[in-house]
Structure 1
Amino acid sequence: MTDKKKAVFNFIFLILVFSLTVYMVFKGEDLGEIISTVQQANAVYLMISVICVVLFILGESVIIFYMMRTLGAGVKMGHCALYSFVGFFFSCITPSATGGQPMQIYYMKKDKLPIPVTTLVLMIVTITYKAVLVLIGILLWIFGKGFLTGYLGQYMWVFYLGVALNVFCVSFMMILVFAPGLAKWLMVKGMKLLEHFRFLKPRKSRLEKLENSMDQYHATAAFWAGHKLVILKVFLITFVQRIILFTVTYWVYRSLGFHEYGIVTLTILQSVISVSVDMLPLPGGMGISESLYMVIFAPVFGETLLPAMLLSRGISYYAQMLISAVMTCVAHLVIGRKVQKENRG
């Protein structure tokens, strides 16, 4: 599939999932009452939640800047912020967030940053990003099973599936990093199996490309071994970054005039949704995120559940996508213009 066809497919898929989500959410609901409730929300708390979304995005830029400087690459903090906005925008609109990093590498290449360095940095960002969810999921599985059952009920299996998929993803990435020989054997065998059953056409170039791509995992392992403190700091920044986003629901809760539940409880409940849907092949977990929200937060918001869900998801996902889209346009103008000027010179 060419890049153009893939972009069209992703766009159509995004619109389709969005349309189905809107239909399922608003089916049989009083739109006038929902809008009225949303309009009465406290704007100050809503602004705090939007700030949390921006801080969440900028958290990744801090990591990119820190790691780039550690590796000796000259990069501006402002451009690192733009890379993050680009990454989150394309992650929001592509299934399983697969489009973010390729586009980040594209803009980093425009800034003449070495591809091996950018690939290494983004790989570590991905591993720690997933690892934080795995840690949260396992801790909740071990220590909060009874607590979660009270909110999820019969939907606990979705949480278990989310934890399992994230554990599998992180484990596979760790195998790629620390056991490249085993990883290469598994991937070559898997590719030959797909070719044997004619899911893929046999191509020698594909195998060569696969072998070349393994070099980046060697580099990641070497960096990990020699910079354990850096990895720890990145993990801690990522943890804070994710928690900041999870607090959005609490600020929405306060904006609607509630105060019975504390920030810790609502942040944990929101993290459960993220753990559950992160690995599902849907843009931003669209559809399933809304459904889980309606189940988990039913006891919290009561009759204002739907307006609360619209505000929470609207800010944490749709506002994130909109802000990132605007900043992606800025990145295209700023970074692209810089390259054009250099070419003219």
Structure 2
Amino acid sequence: MMSKKQTVFNLLFLVVVFGLTMYLVFRGKDIGDIISTAREADARYLLLSIVCVVLFILGESVIIFYMMRTLGTSVKMGHCALYSFVGFFFSCITPSASGGQPMQIFYMKKDKLPIPVTTLVLMIVTITYKAVLVVIGLVICLFGGGFLRGYLGDYMWVFYLGVGLNVFCVTFMMILVFAPGLAKWIMVTGLKLIEHIRILKPRKSRLEKLEASMDQYHETAAFWASHKRVILNVFLITFVQRCILFTVTYWVYRALGLHSYGILTITILQAVISVSVDMLPLPGGMGISETLYMVMFVPVFGSLMLPSMLLSRGISYYGQMLISAVMTCVAHMTIGRQK
């Protein structure tokens, strides 16, 4: 579990980045007019977009429940939902979404779920979560480069960087799974090199912990080899889960009374933003997400671009964080407590 100092630091970092983002985005703009326009949006479509955010979060709980049952571990669906809310909340407030899974493991441990099983499940969730972005990014690169260049222009390099980082991340995780011996050698050699050049002080316990963590990937490889259908199902659920979140911008588009663009175009553009910022060391890609949104969606929203961003980002990221925060409090008060 994160220490109180880490939590305070992450929250302060989030507030600072949020403040800078709001200042740069709305500097010199009439905030009152933007908010007034956003308030006039059709509440039915906004409610639908909030439902999409909740379904996105619950999509992970379906995967956790499905995989836990596949591994013969008894778990409540309601608690799986709470694990997902906890994971997304801490992912929202930590750089590169690094805090989500450690906190999920903490609450799973309070439920007395076996650590090797929870680690295996969350590892596969992570791999498939990133793999979906890689597939989407590569498909757009291969078949939609010309289409995308018309919206991104000089910012195409950000998209290519995002695809490259995601490909590297998934490739490295696959090496960990299918070539654990090579991965272990790379990690141990890297650690010894860092200690040799005095970035870290040599410590035997650190090396033992690293070697033990590498051994967990043997179990992942064995599960992957013997449960290919399960992995495929998890991938498909994850793909649907992510696409549901990408549609939020389209429902905002409809809420503002616009009709010219179809759901596929707007969903692809939102997916491009997610691919571009997913691996960047900022909470929720804050700052760069807003920048790309303002570049890509000008032709789509025109004069309503800022109100649309206020609603789209407000629901898909800040709304997600707020809903997850409330449910994280519920998890803290219920999981692991004796009746």
Post-superposition CA distance 1:22-54 (Å, at most 9, x none)? 111110001121011001100000000000000
Q: Which residue of structure 2 aligns with residue 154 of structure 1?
A: 154
Structure 1 position 6, deviation (Å): 2.0
Post-superposition CA distance 1:186-244 (Å, at most 9, x none)? 00111111112211111011110011111210000000000000000000000000000
Correspondence list, 1:223-302, <5 A:
223-302=223-302
Correspondence list, 1:1-345, <5 A:
3-338=3-338, 341=339
Separation (CA, whole Å) in 1 of partners of 2:53 and 2:39: 20
Separation (CA, whole Å) in 2 of partners of 1:111 and 1:274: 33
Separation (CA, whole Å) in 1 of partners of 2:80 and 2:221: 24
| Unaligned runs of at least 5 residues, structure 2 | none
Separation (CA, whole Å) in 2 of partners of 1:115 and 1:36: 50
Separation (CA, whole Å) in 2 of partners of 1:309 and 1:333: 34
Separation (CA, whole Å) in 1 of partners of 2:4 and 2:206: 21
Separation (CA, whole Å) in 2 of partners of 1:337 and 1:75: 15
* Alignment-mate amino acid for residue 130 of structure 1: K
* Alignment-mate amino acid for residue 25 of structure 2: V
Separation (CA, whole Å) in 2 of partners of 1:277 and 1:103: 22
* Alignment-mate amino acid for residue 193 of structure 1: L
Alignment root-mean-square deviation, CA: 0.8
Structure 1 position 11, deviation (Å): 1.7
Separation (CA, whole Å) in 1 of partners of 2:80 and 2:310: 31
TM-score (norm 2): 0.99
* Alignment-mate amino acid for residue 207 of structure 1: L
Segments of 4+ in structure 1 off by > 3 A?
none
Separation (CA, whole Å) in 1 of partners of 2:314 and 2:291: 14
TM-score (norm 1): 0.97
How many equivalent residue pairs? 338
Separation (CA, whole Å) in 2 of partners of 1:295 and 1:178: 40
Structure 1 position 290, deviation (Å): 0.5
Post-superposition CA distance 1:58-84 (Å, at most 9, x none)? 000000000000000000100000000
Separation (CA, whole Å) in 2 of partners of 1:6 and 1:47: 34
SS at match of 2:335: helix
SS at match of 2:337: helix
* Alignment-mate amino acid for residue 191 of structure 1: L
Structure 1 position 9, deviation (Å): 1.9
Separation (CA, whole Å) in 2 of partners of 1:16 and 1:216: 37
